[in-house]
Structure 1
């Protein structure tokens, strides 16, 4: 596993079925379903084209998607408790856990401690609600990339070589999130959380990381338009010439591609190879979709 914190964080939270977890802050306005772009060498998201904005697609000389790529509708709203890797143990260290009065604000009344039981551990806490956005039909995005492969390589060949390109199909976002990575056994971090009317622990406006021991890194992210905490989608990368695009169905095959860049194996031997784009999906596609 890479030692870079954003990569460690993404890998450690893979067991949560929401896609890839993002350690660095990126707003929902910048990264959303239909965004086509890449994570640069520092792990920051860079948008190449917004496929949901047909006027912008046309004005910039790309082929317009044959079927419109758009958000599937009203986002699904949900409430999450803290999420951590299986190498982390959590416990209450102060305050009381219990349902608040209906209509009362959520307050930071509970102190939670998270301890790494392995060499590495990750923690995510979110403010409610968490919103899930997704595009309606992923096949439209795949078809667009197939039609624009040559133009993508002409304009952004160096990006494809070094980082690969994502078309994001689903995001989970929240107004405020807290992330932590522990890189040493028995490291601990503590955070103040509030309880909603069901007693579920979430971030409140007053929540903050309060202490840490051992080796750890903690951040708080906030944006009124939302910060993205998980993404999933299609990852396109270089491949030798084939008759058509291929795909794999398992997140395991994306594990070395998320937040990739600056690795020696990420370069081509020749600038003149006749290439097409390979595509990998997460979450997996329906088994019969491309049979």
Structure 2
């Protein structure tokens, strides 16, 4: 069951890669545990495990980690974004023609007060749709080098305190798109049509559906809906830095381990064997007699104008 859930998380993120907002979350997470500055990892169940918030200096020291050197530059939050439905590549929207009100045979469970109903289906093996309520809040940090330098200096301490990162990539979140209410559906039937009602029929540019309040069908299976109270929101996309600990055989092939086995002083621009992952450091874990190279991949979100589309 655990492997199945993780597979669903990864599958959803993959089919929603056509949206340039970062990683799509099949199970949206509260911004209290996943927000810019959050440090953690996704375990074998696909669940997010928070280690610390990097903006909280005293909290880092209490966990045996060093404070950030330098100032985190926070971008002004943008909470004026409105989205229509976000759908996976290969998924299309078809307007359901209604006569004399809502045809309950086509859109059961959708109230008569809606102005339009759309059916979403896919031509691929998997289809997905994300519905969000306005406003969408976009939060992010400027610059990533401060975090890379921090991980370089704390790589061994993280490994000692949270050895799970050996098998699960370490993340530093640098951006989120969040909302007070959202609903997600993912299906694998070409013939299945997921129906959604909208309070107006004004098409949102690039959103494959009207940009308005939505009501999902109560008879379609597979929906998961999330809503919050107070100031809490759910992150539906996030961007950040993904760090991978690569085990090495007896230290052979290590890019730049210093003689004492601590983090290297070298910070090569790129691993020539991998044009995406940036080399951060090499280290030796004396407790388990293991050697590692640490690389970083940036999962970056789009600019604000793209986010409004």
Return closer, same or farther for 1:176/1:136 CA change in 2, 3 Å cut-off.
Answer: same
Count the aligned residue pairs. Answer: 250
- 1:284 shift after superposition: 8.7
- 2:47 alignment counterpart: 44
* Correspondence 1:210 to 2:226: no
- 1:266 alignment counterpart: none
Return closer, same or farther for 1:95/1:232 CA change in 2, 3 Å cut-off.
Answer: farther
Structure number with greater Rg is 2
2:227 pairs with one of 217, 222, 225: 222
Q: Are the counterparts in 1 of residues 128 and 187 from structure 2 also a CA contact under 8 Å?
A: yes
Return closer, same or farther for 1:181/1:203 CA change in 2, 3 Å cut-off.
Answer: farther
The 3-state SS of whatever aligns with 2:165 is helix
- 1:162 alignment counterpart: 167
1:191 pairs with one of 196, 202, 218: 196
The 3-state SS of whatever aligns with 1:148 is helix
* Correspondence 1:119 to 2:125: yes
What is the rounded CA distance, in whole Å, between the counterparts of 1:95 and 1:65 in structure 2?
A: 58
- 2:290 alignment counterpart: 273
Alignment of 1:1-291 (within 5 A): 4-69=7-72, 71-93=74-96, 108-157=114-163, 159-195=164-200, 200=204, 201-202=210-211, 204=213, 207-212=215-220, 217-224=222-229, 225-239=232-246, 240=248, 241-243=254-256, 244=266, 271-283=288-300
What is the rounded CA distance, in whole Å, between the counterparts of 2:130 and 2:64 in structure 1?
A: 40
Per-residue displacement from partner, 1:88-128 (whole Å, max 9, x unpaired)? 111222679xxxxxxxxxx8543221112121111111111
- 1:70 shift after superposition: 5.5
Return closer, same or farther for 1:62/1:190 CA change in 2, 3 Å cut-off.
Answer: same
What is the rounded CA distance, in whole Å, between the counterparts of 1:95 and 1:226 in structure 2?
A: 35
Per-residue displacement from partner, 1:221-270 (whole Å, max 9, x unpaired)? 1123111110111111112432245658xxx969xxxxxxxxxxxxxxx9
Give 5+ residue unaligned stretches, structure 1: 97-106, 255-269, 286-291
Q: CA RMSD in A?
A: 2.9
TM-score normalized by the length of structure 1: 0.76
Return closer, same or farther for 1:186/1:58 CA change in 2, 3 Å cut-off.
Answer: same
The 3-state SS of whatever aligns with 1:217 is coil
What is the rounded CA distance, in whole Å, between the counterparts of 2:267 and 2:226 in structure 1?
A: 37
